[in-house]
Each structure stands twice: as C-alpha cells, then as structure tokens.
Amino acid sequence: MAIPQYVRWFKEIRLEDVPMVGGKNASLGELHAACASEGVRVPNGFALTAASYRDALAQAGAVPKLHALLDSLDQTDIALLSERAATAREIVYEATSGAELRQQIITAYRQLEAECGPGCAVAVRSSATAEDLPNASFAGQHDTYLNIRGDEALVEACRRCFASLFTDRAIVYRVNNGFDHFKVALSVGVMKMIRSDLGASGVMFTLDTESGFRDAVFITGVYGLGETIVQGHSDPDEFYVHKPTFKKGFRAVLRRSLGKKQMRMIYADAGTGETTHEFPITEADAARFCLNDTEVLKLAEYAIDVEDHYSEHAGHPMPMDIEWAKDGEDGNLYIVQARPETVISQRSIDSFTTYSLSGTGPILATGRAVGEKIVTGKVRVIADPSELASFQPGEVLVADTTTPDWEPVMKTAAAVVTNRGGRTCHAAIVARELGIAAVVGAGDVTRTLQTGTLVTVSCGEGDVGHVYEGSVAFETAQVPLTGIEHPKTAIMVNLGNPDIAFRSSMLPNDGVGLARMEFIISEHIGVHPMALAKPETVKDSATRAAIAKLVSHYAQPSDFFVERLAEGVGTIAAAFYPKQVIVRLSDFKTNEYASLLGGSEFEPHEDNPMLGFRGASRYAHPAYAAGFALECAALRRVREVMGLTNLCIMVPFCRRVVEGQGVIDAMAAQGLKRGENGLEIYVMCEIPNNVIQIDAFAALFDGFSIGSNDLTQLTLGVDRDSEIVAFDFDESDPGMLEMFRLAVTGAKRNGRHVGICGEAPANDPAIARFLVELGIDSISVNPSSLVRTMTVVRETEAKR
C-alpha cells in the first residue's frame, strides 16, 4: 500500500488546489510559482495537505469524540464553550502525533534547510478549507507560530496549528456562518521566516479600504513583525500610490501619513519559552517613516502585478489584500501572503448613504476614521475582557484595542473607539465588515471618556474621525450610483478636503469644478508659506521652534509645504482622474493668512480684508512672491512628477487684465507655462470688471468659472458676511441674472469654457435652469447637491 504524500511544495501548488491545501496555501503557491517570475519576491516553503489532518483524525478515532463534544454545544455558554474547545484541541493535538506525518514534516524541513541554511527559522500558518465551500474565508480564526527552528519545535508548532481549528473563536465563527465543523479541514503552511523583526512589515490593499476606490494601492507598515498592526498595538504609517499613472510610468507616492508605531514586535531569544516579544520604539523611530519612497513604490509594483495576475486568472477585476515584509538582513521586500479582498469590494454599488454633520460640539477625541457613518450613543469603557458581559447593545465600545474574541459584542455596538490601532487593525477590520463606525488610534480614550457619557462618533468628515460630546445633529442622504442619466451640461464637484476625495469621486460627476487650496494649507500644513520660504525672517522664537519641529525631517522648510500641498491637491486630482480637476490658487484674505503659524509677521492689518490683499494681487507681489513660488512648485509636482495632467489651474479675484497677465508671467517663470504639457489656466469670474472686460480676459485665459458669492457681493454692494443686510444678498436679483448672462455669452463668444462654481444653482433651481438655457458648459456644486442639480439640469435640457 502506497504511503500518502502529505507535503506539497509551494512550486507545486496553484489556485485550483484550494480543496487540497486551503485558500492561504493555494495563494502562496500561485504567488511563488507565477508572480515570482514577474519579479515579485515570495519566500519558499511547503504545505501539509488537508488530507493529513483528515487521515490523522480518522486513524486516531478522534471524530466520534469531537462529535460528542460539539454536536450539542451551546456556544453562548462561554464557560462550557471554553472547556469543550480546550478538550477538542487536545484531541486533535494527540491525533496528529503519528510517525509518518512527523517524518514527512522533518524531511521537508531538511530540504528547506539545505536551501536556506541550517536551523532556518520558519513561520507556521493555518490554511482552512471547507468541503462544501472550498473558497470560504476563515481569516483570523486559527493560530500562527513564528520564528520556529529545529525538527521538534516545527512538529510541535504544526500539531498546535492543526489543533487551533477548535479555538473558541473558530467554533463560534463556524456556527455563526453555517459551517459544519466536520466539513472543515486544516492545511498547515510552513514558510521561510523573513527577518522583518529587524526591518518592517505590514499590509497593503489594491483599493482604498474606506471608500472602495479602485485606482489606489493603500500600504500600511510598522517596524518589526506585522502582528502589531492586526492586534492594534501600533498605529502604522500609511501610503497611497495611484495605479493608473503608475502604469503610465510615473513613480510618485501620492500621499503619506506618519503613524505613531508605538510597539515593535521581534523574535524572542532562544530558551525564553516565547517566540516573540514587544517593546516600545524610540521617539526617533516614531518620527520617521518605516519605508522610504523607493520601497513604497516597489511594494506598489508588487501589489499591481499580483492584482493583475489574479484578475486575469479570475476573468474579472480582483482587488487584493496582501501581507508584505522587509528583511532587515538582506534589505529586500517580500510578499508573504495574498488573498482576494472580500469586504469593501463586495459592497453594493447601486447607492450609498452619505453622512454630514449639521451641528457641532466639543471634541473629546480624534483618531483615524473607519467607515463613513455618524452615530450617537452612550460610552461603555471596557478595560478588561471580563467586563464585556456588562456591554449593552447600542452603546459605544471604548477600549485600548480589540481581539477576535470581542466580535460577538462588537456586532451589537453603535460604534467602536480605541486608544491604539490603524485602519488595518482588528477593530478597524471588524467594524468595516459589520458596517459600524470606528475611530481607532484615538489616544488615551479609555481614561478620558467615561462610561455613560453621551457622545457622537463621526466618521463622515474624511480620514480623521472625531468623538464629540453629547448629541450632535447630522444629516443622511441616500445617493444612487447607477441609473442616473447625465445631462449634456457637465455637473462637477466643489471640493476642498482631500480626505473625502476618493468617496466623492464615486458619486455621479463630470470632474471637479473647484478644488479649494485653502483647506489643504490650513488643515494639512498650518504654516504661512512665507514663513517656510524665508524662515530666517521669522522673529518670534516660539514660532521658529514650532516650525522647526514640523520640518525637522525635510532638507529645507519649503519642502514641507511643497510636499504637503502636492499630496493634498494630487489626491483630489487622482481621485477623479482622468476627469478635469480645476484647482484654485490660494484665496485666503489677510486675516486668514495671519492666523497661520508665523502669518502675523507677514500680513498687513486691513479693515476690509474681503476687498484687500487677496487673490491675483498677491502672487507677483514682493510680499508674497516667494510663497507663490511654493504653490507653483507643488502644482508642478502634481502634473509632472505624479503625472496628473488632468489638473487645471484657476486664478481667483483677478481685478484687472494687466494683473492677470502678471500672474500668467509669474507662473511661467515657475515652470507652469500655459499650453505646455496641456496646461490650461482659468480665471474666476467674480468681479464685475471680469464681466465688463470678458473679451480681454478671454485673450489671456482658457476658461472662466463664475464665483456667484463674490460676484453678487460686488454687484449688489452687499457684504456677504454681514447678517444685518443678508436679506439683500440675492443671487436671483435681475441685475445678477444679467451679470450671469453677460458672462456666459461673453465667454462663448470667445470660444472659452464657462462654468459656475458657486452654490447658487444648487440652492435655487431657477438659477440652474436660467444658466442651462444660456448654454453654460458646467455647473459645479457640493457633493450633497450633485444628484438634485443633475435632475434639474436634465429636465431643463429636455425642454430646450
């Protein structure tokens, strides 16, 4: 009788072998055999087949014993579940002690030693498969053993891994998901260990994990072993790379966010009885990224290659969830796991609900937002798992971190808030799967938030999540994503916050008619451009110290401004690529500029900043020319380095034709020459002189965007910030309608694009109808007004 062969090397395994070795090992085999030829580094290893598990149980007569333990088990009886699960694991552990299985494990390990060196360390991971549903995912339910060396330690780890099929959480998971315990088997993967404890590791996705945006690679990373990310012990660094421009040959990191990376997990020394241990990282390590840009781009290349391979194999797009590791000894990057992403990519694309705050309140905590919901509930602080029994459905779960054992309680929570963790930690992953709001990495919330306190958890404001005190008013709207007929008139989006760009791009739209630079400067930079262009002129010592801290990891202070602004603008341009994105140059007033760090030293005091030193008048002026050069450098980086040539630049508040010419000349001197590399330069039509001299302005600029707020203010002589005369601020006044008519017909007479980026068409359908009848080219509104405006415009067009 032939002896069954229980070992399969990765090079022998393909995706079709899921029934034999489970999903994880089948994917490792596919990666090693197919993607490695495309340059993707994958460590070698082997799998113990599911048949080895089944045969071991059959030969030991273990199946009837397991039936007796599990068939009548009430999983809600926590004490009984724990007791019987432990007994089940012991039965499987004993059953897998057979001599033949043991010998095959050792023989395979010796082959791996011959390739990788004597006593090479390996990782031992589970790979479950179900008879009825061979592609079912059992992610996170079974045990992993790291840094295993030597024959005896490896055999022991494999037996413990087999036994982990009956952890408490795995039993509950199978019951909740309708899996028969006895139709699920475990394959064990044994892979050469990458010394990421001396380097770095993490997880990456070939889509954005919050919005589902498909055109980005999202990479997270920490120092040491990546388990600290999943366990939520470390807030990771985050990086985005734009796939379409990467495939065109542009090599640039789209966006990066520095994580706290609180803990580093490394391999424990021999003889300690442990395989790993954690220790806090230094302040210096926390202050720098765990990957440089070259490494981020290499990982993005790997991710794109893996996604393309799996998509081709499946015959349809296949977003991927990929684990990576950087070996601290050889410096190379490796892929150690890849699986199809099964949560975000499976969301319904027919419609989605938008959430927006309509009220405000004191902010109690801030962290990384997971999901897009806003909810209100009472806090329940859980300091220890033993306190989970006190949790009531609908409460806000507040904890240091969460583990898989907490999932039954998390299912009933209104929201989750944790001290630690990034957007790929356990709390974030489960919250995303359950569709509940979560704010992770929020600091010391287990101490600062009190049980019973009413709070509003907001994940509807972009990447940053907030916990507000009390019940803060918010609004929801159901937005359809399919079946909407686009009108002939382009309906575009007004946007300033890069954090919501990916989500907003999935709404029906024709691009971005107004990307406001001010939000990026105030929220993501916070420093006056001149204070970074000429830091030596800053007199206040406290201000100099604050700026020095912000720019400490940059070659020069101005690089901080250029990189941050390019990332913000680039994120918006990438989100809507290849549709047109019109970014407006900075249009702060002097009082707003003065509020930035260092700003008071560069800004004059004006009694009426609304009509003062703003917009085009600043850009070539000696008082701001150096700051304007930084704005231009950032926009050049977006177009030339990132490859986002869909970016169009718009000049605001341009009072006179000669002023417009000066700005165009100043931009050309900074490498932004109109017409070069397809660059279009628009001008805001928001001053009566823009309308009166529209023929002259049309000779300088490629298009116009009507700014109805300022144009109404200056046409009617009404201060739009004054409450006492607010009744006179009327965009539908006959004089204003005539201004709109002259602007649209004047632009079209000169063959120039003309749109409107004020909210007038969204607030007043009559104005939208009037503009459409004039033949305006585009109407740009806030995301929440898109569908409503499209409907009005489409109905108007049908009557023309």
3-class secondary structure, 457: strand
CB 231 within 8 A of CB 401: yes
Which residues face 144 on adjacent strands? Answer: 125
Separation of alpha carbons 578 and 575, rounded Å: 9
Which residues have C-beta within 8 Å of that of residue 188, sequence separation ≥ 6?
Answer: 47, 48, 52, 124, 125, 126, 127, 158, 161, 162
Q: Are strands 415-418 and 396-399 parallel, antiparallel or unpaired?
A: parallel
Give catalytic status of residue 426 as yes or no: yes
SS3 sequence of 118-131 = CCCCEEEEEEEEEC
- Name residue 82's amino acid: S
Cα angle, residue 177 at apex, residues 176 and 182 outer, rounded to 5°: 100
Report cis status (omega within 30 of 0) of the bond before 43: no
Q: Are strands 437-440 and 363-370 parallel, antiparallel or unpaired?
A: antiparallel
Query: Would you say the C-alpha torsion 460, 464, 467, 470 has a positive or negative sign?
Result: negative
Which residues have C-beta within 8 Å of that of residue 348, sequence separation ≥ 6?
Answer: none
Judging by beta carbons within 10 Å of its beta carbon (0-12, 13-18, 19+), is residue 175 exposed, middle or buried? middle
DSSP H/E element including 30:
helix 18-33
CB 357 within 8 A of CB 340: no
DSSP string, 106-171: HHHHHHHHHHH-TT--EEEEEEEEESS-TT---TTSS-EEEEE-SHHHHHHHHHHHHHGGG-HHHH
3-class secondary structure, 32: helix
Residue among 744, 681, 680 nearest 711 (CA): 744
At 278, list the tokens: 């954690």
Separation of alpha carbons 632 and 670, rounded Å: 6
Cα angle, residue 583 at apex, residues 581 and 589 outer, rounded to 5°: 160
Sheet containing strand 320-326, edge to edge, reads 255-257, 237-242, 216-223, 200-205, 320-326, 333-340
CB 146 within 8 A of CB 266: no
At 293, list the tokens: 């840009």
Q: First vs last Cα of the chain: how many Å apart?
A: 85
Separation of alpha carbons 337 and 359, rounded Å: 44
CB 465 within 8 A of CB 458: yes
Catalytic residue, candidates 426, 466, 528, 753: 426
CB 401 within 8 A of CB 215: no
Q: What is the chain's Cα-based Rg? A: 30
Give catalytic status of residue 648 as yes or no: no
How many other C-beta atoms lie within 10 A of the C-beta of residue 182? 14
Phi, psi angle pair for 773, to nearest 5°: -65, -30
DSSP string, 58-87: HHHTHHHHHHHHHTT--TT-HHHHHHHHHH
Instruction: Report the phi/psi class of residue 751: left, alpha or beta, with left for phi > 0 and alpha for psi in -120 to 50.
Output: left
Residue among 660, 667, 581, 596 nearest 629 (CA): 667
DSSP H/E element including 355:
strand 351-357
Judging by beta carbons within 10 Å of its beta carbon (0-12, 13-18, 19+), is residue 622 exposed, middle or buried? exposed
The residues carrying an active-site annotation are 426, 757
